[in-house]
Amino acid sequence: MKIQTLEELQRADDHSLSFTPRGLGRMCEADAAEYQQQLVAGIELSDDVAAATRVAFDRLRTVFAHGVLCSRPTLSFTTTHS
């Protein structure tokens, strides 16, 4: 795992900025953060949903909104030859 600086952690992920209300495109960081939150803000669970499920859903909704900050990991492979 690469340890990132606070600045790196606060930078929006380029892939997240590509999803706009009109499909693929490019958004500024502030608009992308608002859009990601709006996507899940209006989802309401039925009153019949168990409390534990409701808590888990609210947690997931928060994680989704923070997803704009999640960088896609860069995979690197090394091979060793004997």
- The SS3 call for residue 36 is helix
User: What is the model's pTM?
Assistant: 0.65
pLDDT tens digits for range 33-65: 899 899 889 899 999 999 999 999 999 998 888
Q: 22-31, 32-41, 71-80 — which is least confidently predicted?
A: 71-80
**Which residue would you say has higher pLDDT here, 51 or 79?**
51
The predicted structure's pLDDT at residue 75: 44
Kindly report the CA angle at 18 between 30 and 63, in degrees rounded to 5? 60
